[in-house]
A and B are shown apart, each in its own frame.
Chain A
Amino acid sequence: MQFAETVAEIARGIAVGDTSAEETARECLERIERADPRVCAFVSVDGDLALSRARKIDAARAAGETLGLLGGVPIGIKDNICTRDGHTTCGSKMLGSFTAKYNARVVDLLEAAGAVIIGKTNLDEFAMGSSTEHSISGCTRNPWDATRVAGGSSGGSAAAVAAGMVPAALGSDTGGSVRQPASFCGVVGLKPSYGRVSRYGLVAFGSSLDQIGPIANDVRDVAMLLAIIAGHDPHDSTSVVAPVPDYVTALDQPVRGLRIGVSSEYFGEGLDSTVADAVQAAVAELEGQGAQTVPIELPHMKYAIACYYIIAPAEASSNLARFDGVHYGRRAADPDDILDLYESSRSQGFGTEVKRRIMLGTYALSTGYYDEYYLKALKVRTLIKQDFDRAFDQVDVIVSPVAPTTAFRIGEKIDDPLTMYLSDIYTISANLAGICAISLPCGFDPNGLPIGLQLMGPAFGEQRLLQVAHQYKLQSDFRARIPPTPQAGA
């Protein structure tokens, strides 16, 4: 069921006339119709709109125009990224009928490159979660095993790519929400450095942590998509004015002589031994290609989860204050007064996990606790960032697992928030430090579930990060394995 072709191959096929954008979109819609009743990767799909956009691409080509890099390539967009057409629900009852009046910057950039937006993908409500179980649109299932989660919060995007419904999708990553689902679903997912990609039009969760990132089957596709969505945007003051390098050309450089950092902090207690073995084998593969392994220390890594679960909920509680039943979103019927309007609208509109994080964040920011929790976490964040600064003085990339286990069972952690939070252990420090990190497949466990390898690079070091990922993947044959084809009625 996997798209046999990569983004680059599809674009080339359309550009040379082997196929048309309309035919490609039609195939994509058929695949969604076939597979999505089981996977539940999409929140909404507008087939007619996608086909009419595809026909415009075909008309442009027929008129002799040169198509963009993504001319006619179907792409899924996580449903917390605003699109002018259709709804942007964030998986929340609060925004169940919300429509945006503008496209997120990344959506404009993709469309300018010729991409055909096929639909919006499922997520944990407001991107808060690690399993895509917390969504009004239902739970996304892992294409490799429908009894297991796809990961989260960009579970819909990762599952849609893994199940061959689209060749690529965008997700967002606040603490691992692109990388962990990519790992669970056996695809490639990148969290760019903070400031690399405009967040304009991304519904804010943790503003100092959020980044939009691409998910695809291939490192080259991820590099190509990053080159398109990266860059400064006057509408996002945290997007950095820095040149966008040619990520794709850099991929072909060998890794010989590069220094790969390995920290024992990433291989400690709680890590499944199958995952550890697969990651160690990946390190050995890179060594075999001539990279040099360097032991590094990240002494504050063990504080990352505690630090993150103060900072992220604090920022979320502030960001989600805008959902007040007045400006947009759900409004409670017949409020007694303005206070009741706020409280009833919010209590009816938000799900349990979102309320839990708002509560946690409000507590951490409240008088008497601010210094003990929030300020303390900001200081520990400095220590975590300094650990990475020191490490990247010695190495080019750092290697680790993406998650301590492969995809867990649906329902397994939903009643135990702290256990769910702990599953983010290897991914969240990259968000705290603002560095870039990528997840790519490095093996399978005995149940046939994909294992993810994480590579981390310094801020704005995507070029080398993608290069190492690509060189590793060239030599690993994991892409040859594809999820089982969904059976009708299964």
Chain B
Amino acid sequence: MLYGYGGHILRVDLSRGSTVREKSDPAYLRKAIGGRGLNSWRLHDELPRDVDPLGPENMLLIGVGPLTGSLLSSSAYMTISGRSPLTGILGDSAAGGFFGPELKQAGYDQLVITGRSETPCYLVIADDRVEIRDASHLWGTDLWQATSAIRKELGDNAFQVAAIGPAGENLVKFATVACNNGRMCGRTGMGCLFGSKQLKAVAVRGTNVVTMADSLAFLDLSRELDRRILDHPEWQKRHDLGSPLLMNALNGIGILPTNHFQKGVCDYVDRVSGETLAATHKVKNKSCFNCNVHCSRYYVTPEGEAEGPEFETLCSYTSRIGVDDLRFALRMASFLNRMGMDSLSSGETIGWTMECFQRGLLGPEDVDGLDFTWGNKETVEKVLDMIVRREGIGDAFAEGTRSLAQRFGRGTEKWALHVKGLDVICGDPRGIKAFGLTYAIASRGGDHLRAEPFFELTGRYDEAERRWGVRDIADRLSNNGKAVLVEHTERQALLTDCMTMCKNIGLSMDVLDFEFAARLLQAGTGLDFTPDRMTKSLRGIIDADRRLNIDLGIDASMDTLPYRFTDEPLEEGPSKGQVVPVKKMVKEYYELRGWGPDGSPPSKEG
């Protein structure tokens, strides 16, 4: 028996309507660990390199890990992967909530979905019973309606539903997949991938149990981790505010994206901060599976109620586009969630257009007469609706910022803030250098979660010296030693994605080191996950991702940042005068990874 793991891989071919349940291969799992790592190796080994991202041959993978759905706090995650319709390279996006644990309890480590259904469909998994059902009547429904309708049809409210909204159906390149309405796989357009396969949803219900190899040892380790979390100095704040705490935190160090990163300080932050959200509209805490931080929140306003929003959405629809209205941001967050569209990428198309208006590079005549003045809420609302329906100029916006800028040209490309086609997140890298390096090298494009080098924000100089021998690693403005930090935390981030655990806890709260994780994995699976073997596996996955991405068209010249972050110093605030010396850092990073100067990993795996 395979402990910890679900034990099966489910292969679904939507073109043929076939489903095959295979046993998981322990040797493959040891190499891939699980979750994102398992998806990455599957793509590396099986994805045809010339595949059209929207074609039937593209693979849609949903992976969970050996500790998903276990006694371990925040073991809630799952990752969806495939060739990204937005970027054309490796695409993946993770979400917490309850879908991952349910998939595990149904007995699976991974779903491998290929093909394209002739008519809209949804996949139902109830333990070992799998069925592809017609979804013609659900096509066009928003996420809240679809989720309710599916549960009603299946006669069981306890089904966990990962679904797409109209944006995914209409192949908006940055469409999301939502788990039970509230938990988003937001980035790289995995919802578009669902839509391209005419797959409206995956509904799963598991009645098995997650059994560990050494339950008592695993219990002790889980309790030890609980203590580390509960005793953490940031616990209370994370509990009270969740990720929106970053509005004020980032503003305080001068890196809160304001008017599309032209400023790092927002003078109306108090009107749109996490503190204000908590004080005015939050009615209670919400949580993912088996978490003891409970960082999410439920809010109620006279216009509506929902779970959310997280920081990236809040910032994308306030300071990043010049809006000082919290209730507006909540309304947009809710709209995006119901339509199934990513807030970061949609927000960047809007922020970029507003900056192009400011610079006189674009005008109303370019965008169906819409007025993209900073903070024009009416325009924002209108264009989002047009993007979802791909109506008028919304059709061009739906292709993403990189494509949109290429379409207009005239020097607008310079202000498109993406790396490898993925729009950068809400954190100005000029004041957080390790994050800058992370955006540049992240295997899915301009994103922080691949390494989340939170340590540079902690000011723990002695600890930096103890761990890596470089004190400057704890100084956010220094680039010294940041490649060392990123090389380290990139493995740590991958590890949490493989196990699968929340990165806010495993990584940002710094409660999970490799030795401890190895003990958890050993107690959980009974397999010989020594720290050395684990490190080898993690490096192997990072190299596999890189080889895949090179095959899909990236090269070293793309491991960089947009002009703004490398050449345009911030003009005011606590990060004044800063830029990211990205070339130097990337070079150091390649060396630490064992990659050549052209960014190529060794050609042989292992």
Asked if A and B are interacting partners, one says no
By a beta-carbon cutoff of 8 Å, the part of chain B in contact with chain A is: none
